[in-house]
Amino acid sequence: MAFAQEALASSASHDSEYGAFLSFRGEDTRRTFTADLFHSLKVAGLNPFMDNDGIKRGETISSELERAIESSKVSIMIFSRNYATSPWCLDEVLKILQHSKTKTHGILPLFYHVDPAAVRHQQGSFGEALAKHESRYGKEKVEQWKKALKHCASLSGYTFPNPDYSFQIDFIDDIVKWTGDEVGIRKKEETVFYYDVFVSYKSKDIPKNIIKLLYATLQKSKFKSFEDEMNRKENTDSEFDATISQSRSSIIVFSRNYSYSPWCLHQLAKIFKYSETKRHVILPVFYLVDKETVIGQADRMSQELDGKYNEQFNLWRESIKGVAELPAISISRSGATQR
């Protein structure tokens, strides 16, 4: 992801104070959840620190990371399945806990696809990893890690997946709000938009020259849009969610196979939900299909998607209907009309 490369590179400088130090297991979440969280914290002006993997790793936590922890106002621990396999991560927990006892330093544990009890009591993958560490690091060191894990995992934190969060970006939003409160920076009531338009479409249905023309027209009209058509495989759902939340409006291009793409339907549902709570304008475009066909796809697509995505299926159906009934533009082979 382009934003991740820029964000990770920016974390190399330790000259300024950081808002949040992110502790995470790289192989679990570096290029996915942690990168998306870093991006959202950065957009909110909270100056997070994320190890860019350029720091030389040894047997213990480096002095460079110790300085990063000491110069951060809060620490966010992203407990994932393989977190405890890394002595580096476990030393970060120790350092963060020690620092919090001498300074005002907030700690937020995140339980990402793990049970908080498994972290607190070192069960499952956490227990297995710590048992393996004993032969190399000794029982005394492992006991220190266990006590630190138990203490930090007993603090109030957030868990994902969770019924309270329809999307991962909602989980991230709560983390950003917590961080802002802790470091004394609250989000302004008025949303700051980074894009004017987000465009959702099924790439295989629409010729590339038409998409390029759409983006060129938006640019010519001074509308800033998020152009992702060349890098769709590199973007995660969370990045798209964040981009939608940072856009004033969305154009949804319904085409023949739009409703058969879980990728598109995820974007559609996020856009529709966002428009119900924020001032977010949606323009549906029917490309070589009519409104009735689009609404009808909600029934036909069930054969392919209902069984696999049954929890999301009803949300997708409602979103298709809600968006398709808005004032729209229809594009046929004879031209475009408003409807």
pLDDT tens-place string over residues 148-188: 999 999 999 999 999 888 788 889 989 999 999 998 765 44
With residues binned 3-state (H G I as helix, E B as strand, rest as coil), the percentages for the chain, rounded to 5, are: 50, 15, 30
Question: Nearest to residue 149, comparing CAs of 126, 176, 174, 175?
Answer: 126
Q: Is the pLDDT of residue 323 over 50?
A: yes
- Mean pLDDT, all residues of the chain: 82
Please tell me the distance from the alpha carbon of residue 35 to that of residue 18, in angstroms, as a whole number: 16
Please tell me the distance from the alpha carbon of residue 203 to that of residue 318, in angstroms, as a whole number: 23
Look at residue 299 in the predicted model and tell me its pLDDT: 60
Strands 18-23 and 72-79, by their bridges, are: parallel
Annotation marks residue 92 as catalytic: yes
Q: What is the CA radius of gyration of the chain?
A: 23
Please tell me the distance from the alpha carbon of residue 286 to that of residue 301, in angstroms, as a whole number: 18
Among 159-163, 196-200, 220-224, which stretch is predicted with the lowest mean pLDDT?
220-224
Would you put residue 206 in left (φ > 0), alpha (ψ -120 to 50) or beta?
beta
Among the listed residues 92, 189, 190, 229, the single catalytic one is: 92
- Amino acid in position 123: Q
Tokens found for residue 173:
């939003």
Would you put residue 5 in left (φ > 0), alpha (ψ -120 to 50) or beta?
alpha
For the chain, domains (ranges, CATH) are 2-183 (3.40.50.10140), 195-338 (3.40.50.10140)
What digits encode the pLDDT tens for the residues 247-301?
Answer: 888 999 999 888 888 888 889 998 988 887 677 889 999 999 988 888 877 666 6
Among 4-8, 78-82, 121-125, 142-146, which stretch is predicted with the lowest mean pLDDT?
4-8
**pTM of this prediction exceeds 0.75:** no
Q: What average pLDDT score do residues 106-112 get?
A: 96
Query: 200 in helix, strand or coil?
Result: strand
